[in-house]
Structure 1
């Protein structure tokens, strides 16, 4: 079977020890999927793997709110980011919630008949765009905001990792595009998806991350988000100061749009680190073999590449988070 990994060779999951093994065990128990490639691809950098899992678990899986609604938000995010792998995954997970008609509707690219479902999907799509009118009012109860926002931000990060470092094939031959396959796979994890495990289990895998942002104050989502921010931003050390400034200034002025093919602000391969980080942030699906080869010197391991992509990905997440109209939720 062809490998799903584009530029790295992650350690074999069966060889995992310590926190990596603990993450895989929690994935199996709480996500219902054994060692999914979306997380295995991060295992070259265990600190990123652990924090990414923590944010997804504490928001999408264990957080407050309806799982169907959060899957719709995650699907909307994945559509906005042009990540077909994650779009297909969340469509199958909608089957797992039991709402097969809804799953089939969104798979056809149609708007859900239920107005609340339609608003949640539109909200997820709109989180990519600062100031989008669909962001307010919130399409979920205020008490559920940390889980919904955490879900959206976790998939803004995961989408970029997936698009940069995995192939688009969720299943061999893209058979997940077939309705019977989507339904079957969804039913296989339905029991796990329809229960909500207790919050906090993943936090035991983190090293005192801090409370996190105000919008997640007092929840397990906050420390998970703080841990991912810390782990992802360490990739800045792989760039020189001029490249870090370029990434920061580009993201500050980003309006959520996908870059055109004639992207004037994208450096050429003479600045390969900045190029990779900016592509990971704004158009990870455009990363090529030549881009990776231009940057990857003998000293750059898989651990380094995963961290550089994560740095770019989180630069986009940070821009998105800062623009969301949620920073007064707990005031």
Structure 2
């Protein structure tokens, strides 16, 4: 049966029917993430190459990468706050509960600044990654040797936030019951054992078909090829746009300063250019995608696979802009 629930605009294949690489992703999600079928990855399953790469980057940075899990969850939560993604903010709050730091989880749930100065810096750094040149990006609020995992984590969630805002509803749990403190705490405790262990790096990259070592800031780590695979899979969506629309997306996102576009957004084309409009919304304001925007582009010729790829193309355009503006050092320079 088709899936219902939090999915907008697509009907992902049932996870129970998954085979091949998709089934391997679900197995790793269950073992290493503690959640067998998170909608954030199920929604990508119409495009298995995207699903595998997005999971690989998340696994190799957030789950298996260097540095404390609570601190990386804080960085991801800061990204989700900056991107106005309530689904992901709630998810990372519950995952903070899973790490055992319940006071920290409830502090950020209330919108407070963490009492611990280092935690406050990590949260602020995560938020600031949306804004090229932000002063909070220097110096790192973590050891330089942990930078590949932290950078991979924030870039992973800059991508996932946009997929979620475009293709899922805002309700993490039915009826938004995660807004209750007791529910957040209980849900976090239910998979605390998985969250508190760190699996060995590398299993995520076995799902990939790339030999690209990735960007300089991640050389020699499993984060690098995972990032490269996500970039390559997401950029396949460029083929769904004509050259003029690709140039428009590249130009607008290339000049983006991290702000949320105004309602009167002059650079956003109308629905006579529906592909460019969807890609730009996915990049810079995915929470503003409407039924009419999707219908104007989709028609009978575009499948769920196509829609997921177009949204991913726009999402990664923003990730690429963010990554290119981060003050990073090559791994060998940081060691």
Is TM-score (shorter-chain normalized) higher than 0.5? yes
Give the TM-score, by structure 1 length.
0.99
What are the residue-to-residue correspondences of 1:158-169 with 2, within 5 Å? 158-169=160-171
From 60, 76, 79, give the equivalent of 2:78.
Answer: 76
1:52: Cα distance to partner? 0.1
> Aligned residue for 2:321?
319
> Aligned residue for 2:62?
60
CA displacement, residues 214-271 of structure 1 (integer Å, 9 cap, x when unaligned) = 0000000000000000000000000000000000001110000000000000000000
What are the residue-to-residue correspondences of 1:68-147 with 2, within 5 Å? 68-147=70-149
From 26, 29, 35, give the equivalent of 2:28.
Answer: 26
> Aligned residue for 2:201?
199
Tell me if structure 1 keeps the 8 A contact 2:220–2:331. Answer: no
Displaced runs of 4 or more, over 4 A: none
1:328: Cα distance to partner? 4.5
> Aligned residue for 2:267?
265
Provide the C-alpha distance between the structure 2 equivalents of 1:246 and 1:85, rounded to a whole number of angstroms: 29
Tell me if structure 1 keeps the 8 A contact 2:106–2:181. Answer: yes
1:209: Cα distance to partner? 4.0
> Aligned residue for 2:230?
228
CA displacement, residues 152-181 of structure 1 (integer Å, 9 cap, x when unaligned) = 000000000000000000000000010000
From 290, 293, 304, give the equivalent of 1:291.
Answer: 293
| Residue 157 (structure 2) pairs with residue 155 (structure 1) | yes
RMSD value, Cα = 0.9
Provide the C-alpha distance between the structure 1 equivalents of 2:267 and 2:210, rounded to a whole number of angstroms: 38
1:327: Cα distance to partner? 4.1
Provide the C-alpha distance between the structure 2 equivalents of 1:209 and 1:315, rounded to a whole number of angstroms: 22
Provide the C-alpha distance between the structure 2 equivalents of 1:329 and 1:278, rounded to a whole number of angstroms: 32
Number of equivalenced pairs: 331
Give the TM-score, by structure 2 length.
0.98
Tell me if structure 2 keeps the 8 A contact 1:23–1:50. Answer: yes
Provide the C-alpha distance between the structure 2 equivalents of 1:18 and 1:327, rounded to a whole number of angstroms: 37
1:34: Cα distance to partner? 1.4
Provide the C-alpha distance between the structure 1 equivalents of 2:281 and 2:222, rounded to a whole number of angstroms: 31
